[in-house]
Amino acid sequence: MSTAHNTPTDQSLEAHPSARARSAAHAPGELTLAEMSDAQIRAIVGELLQANRDLKMLNGKLSDTQNKLVQSEKLASIGQLAAGVAHEINNPIGFIFSNFGTLEQYLQDLFEMLDAYEAAEPSLKQDEGTLQRLQQLRKDLDIDYLKQDIPNLMRESRDGIQRVRKIVQDLKDFSRVDARQEWECVNLHHGLESTLNIVNNEIKYKADVVKQYGDLPEVQCLPSEMNQVFMNLLVNAAHAITAERGTITIRTGVQDPHVWVEIADNGQGIAPENLQRIFDPFFTTKPVGQGTGLGLSLSYGIVQKHHGRMEVDSAPGRGTTFRITLPIQHAPEPQAQTPPRTDTTVATPSPNGSTSPIAP
């Protein structure tokens, strides 16, 4: 009886069942691993190594995308938290504002009483000691200065409370925490102004804002979503300005039956190779940690949802202009209607020779 000895190649195939199966089932004209030359094996190994590198790169991109999604989710949560805080602040601000008006009235009454005391001072001449004490106290307290300064303090405090109240209201309007997502007819200028107030800290140190507003009709839209678009474009415009101070210009106008809004900056502009990708999700030229690459993509989707257009004109060193065109009236999405059923009847002869309809 002869004993079969396995060659190293046979042992390798036995150690790798998948390779053995491929070897046994290979089509005519295909080479087995044992039949391949060293150059062919090296080529296959090279392809496998390249595929492994591509897979690692893809995993890296997926990991980066996941991190950006997590960051975006955190930003969304922070936005919801800020909107909730604004909603809660609104009530005490209302109390302060109301009490402030009452305090002003009380001070006015006290000043009238003080004027009456001052008018009565000459009648105290016979009581020289009391008159001197009152005059000294009036001098020590500087009553004349207080009568001038207190109204100024009250006026400045009222202005400060009004500013806080406006910021809170703009934040509520921006987030629409107290309203449902419904299509509303709104003045886009009000949305631009409230958004400018929200992002003022991003802009005021870098650019001057020039407003060239046209006479716009009310536009039927989702106000909070349009405010989101305005915010993204304004913040991007501020970030694009690399000079010591730049200019952001906001223009609006009507091109019946549409309105348009332009937000332009005189910043560094967009490179031609990036211009075709700026609306792609997660594409950003900002440093890591300063942008998610979702702002323009989301804005583009919102404008499309409104059946509008978003266009960009930019060149390096010339700045960037984004133009949003929206229909004045929102056209609702057509709803698929189920066609009425038409039952077709088939006439079949009955045993007595007549016909009776049968629905299919």
User: Taking the domains of the chain in order of start, what are their residue ranges?
Assistant: 37-178, 181-332
Mean pLDDT of the chain: 76
Rounded Cα distance, 230 and 253, in Å? 16
Q: Say which residue, 339 or 112, is predicted with more confidence.
A: 112
pLDDT given for residue 42 in this prediction: 86
Please state the rounded mean pLDDT for residues 230-254: 91
258 phi/psi in degrees, rounded to 5: -125, 160
Rounded Cα distance, 153 and 104, in Å? 11
Please state the rounded mean pLDDT for residues 331-341: 55
Paired residues of 356 in beta bridges = 348
> Taking 90 as the threshold, does the pLDDT of residue 259 lie above it?
yes
End-to-end CA distance of the chain: 76
In CATH, what is the architecture of 181-332?
2-Layer Sandwich (3.30)
Q: Say which residue, 128 or 151, is predicted with more confidence.
A: 151
Q: Which of 113-122, 124-133, 199-208, 284-293 has the lowest mean pLDDT?
A: 284-293
pLDDT given for residue 202 in this prediction: 85
Please state the rounded mean pLDDT for residues 322-350: 62
Please state the rounded mean pLDDT for residues 1-17: 44
> Taking 70 as the threshold, does the pLDDT of residue 105 lie above it?
yes
